[in-house]
Chain A
Amino acid sequence: MRIEVKDLIKRFEHTLVLDRINLEIRQKEFLGLLGPSGSGKTTLLRIIAGLEFADSGVVEVDGRDVSTLGFEERKFGFVFQQYALFNHMTVFENVAFGLRVRPRGARPDKQAIAVRVKELLELVQLGAFEDRFPAQLSGGQRQRVALARTLTIDPQVLLLDEPFGALDAKVRVELRRSLRNIHDATGLTTIFVTHDQEEALDLADRVAIMNHGVIEQIGTPIEVYESPKTPFIFDFLGHTNSFDCVIHHGKARLGDKELPVEPAIPDGPGVAFVRPHDIVLSPPNDPEPTQDAKLPDTAIMRFVSARGQRAAVELLYEKRLIEAEVSREGLNELGLSIGDKCTISLRLPRIYAKREAEKQTGIGERAAARPRFRKRLRSRLSGTP
Chain B
Amino acid sequence: MVDHAPSLDASLSQAARRPMPLTESAGARIALIAIALGFLLLFLLLPLIVVFAEALRLGLGSYWAAIREPEALAAVRLTLLTALTVVPLNAIFGIAAAWAITKFQFAGKNLLITLVDLPFSVSPVIGGMVFVLLFGLQGVFGPWLAAHDIHIIFAIPGVIIATLFVTLPFVARELIPLMQKQGTDYEEAALMLGASGWQTLFRVTLPNIKWGLLYGVLLCNGRAIGEFGAVAVVSGHIVGLTTTMPLYIEVLYNDFNFPAAFAVASLLTLIAFATLILRAILEWRADWQLARSRLH
Interface residues of A (CB under 8 A from B): 49, 51, 71-72, 76-78, 80, 82, 84, 86-88, 97-98, 101-102, 132-136, 149-150, 152-153
- Choose among A77, A80, A97, A136 the residue that contacts B185 (Cβ–Cβ < 8 A): A80
Q: Is the CB of A84 within 8 A of B186?
A: yes
B window 174-204: CB within 8 A of A:
185-186, 188-196, 199, 203-204
State A101–B200 Cα separation when bound (angstroms): 9
User: What 8 A-B pairs are tightest by C-beta distance, nearest first?
Assistant: A98-B193, A84-B185, A101-B195, A84-B189, A133-B293, A88-B207, A135-B293, A80-B185
Q: Is the CB of B193 within 8 A of A149?
A: yes
Q: Is the CB of A97 within 8 A of B203?
A: yes
Q: Is the CB of A97 within 8 A of B293?
A: no
Contacts of A87 in B (CB 8 A): 208, 293
By size class, the interface of chain B is: 20 to 34
Contacts of A133 in B (CB 8 A): 293
Q: Is the CB of B190 within 8 A of A78?
A: no
Instruction: Please judge, given known A-B contacts A101-B203, A136-B293, whether A86 and B186 are in contact too, CB under 8 Å.
Output: yes
State A19–B293 Cα separation when bound (angstroms): 45
B window 203-217: CB within 8 A of A:
203-204, 207-208, 210
Instruction: Please judge, given known A-B contacts A98-B194, A152-B193, whether A86 and B293 are in contact too, CB under 8 Å.
Output: no
State A71–B186 Cα separation when bound (angstroms): 15
- Residue in A76, A80, A134 with the greatest tally of chain B CB atoms within 10 Å: A80
How many A-B residue contacts, CB cutoff 8 Å?
Answer: 65
Contacts of A102 in B (CB 8 A): 194
In angstroms, how far is the closest chain B Cβ from the Cβ of A166? Answer: 12
Q: Is the CB of B193 within 8 A of A84?
A: no
Contacts of A49 in B (CB 8 A): 192
Q: Is the CB of A86 within 8 A of B191?
A: no
Interface residues of B (CB under 8 A from A): 185-186, 188-196, 199, 203-204, 207-208, 210, 293-296
State A135–B295 Cα separation when bound (angstroms): 9
Contacts of A134 in B (CB 8 A): 293
> What 19 additional pairs, Cβ within 8 angstroms, besides A86-B186, A86-B189?
A51-B192, A71-B188, A71-B191, A72-B191, A80-B188, A80-B189, A84-B185, A84-B186, A86-B204, A87-B208, A97-B193, A97-B203, A101-B195, A102-B194, A133-B293, A134-B293, A135-B294, A150-B192, A152-B193
Q: Is the CB of B294 within 8 A of A136?
A: yes
Instruction: Please judge, given known A-B contacts A71-B191, A149-B193, whether A132 and B296 are in contact too, CB under 8 Å.
Output: yes
Q: Is the CB of A153 within 8 A of B193?
A: yes
Q: Is the CB of B296 within 8 A of A72?
A: no
State A87–B208 Cα separation when bound (angstroms): 8
List 12 A-B pairs, Cβ < 8 Å: A71-B191, A71-B192, A80-B188, A84-B186, A97-B193, A97-B203, A101-B199, A134-B293, A136-B295, A136-B296, A152-B193, A153-B193
Contacts of B190 in A (CB 8 A): 86, 97, 101
Contacts of B295 in A (CB 8 A): 136
- Choose among B188, B210, B293, B296 the residue that contacts A84 (Cβ–Cβ < 8 A): B188
In angstroms, how far is the closest chain A Cβ from the Cβ of B86? Answer: 28
State A77–B193 Cα separation when bound (angstroms): 8
In angstroms, how far is the closest chain B Cβ from the Cβ of A69? Answer: 13
In angstroms, how far is the closest chain A Cβ from the Cβ of B253? Answer: 48
- Residue in A49, A82, A101, A135 with the greatest tally of chain B CB atoms within 10 Å: A101
Contacts of B191 in A (CB 8 A): 71-72
Q: Is the CB of B192 within 8 A of A78?
A: yes
Instruction: Please judge, given known A-B contacts A88-B207, A136-B294, A136-B296, whether A51 and B196 are in contact too, CB under 8 Å.
Output: no
Closest B residue to A134 using CB positions: B293
In angstroms, how far is the closest chain A Cβ from the Cβ of B294? Answer: 5
In angstroms, how far is the closest chain B Cβ from the Cβ of A64? Answer: 19
Contacts of A153 in B (CB 8 A): 192-194
Contacts of B192 in A (CB 8 A): 49, 51, 71-72, 76-78, 150, 153
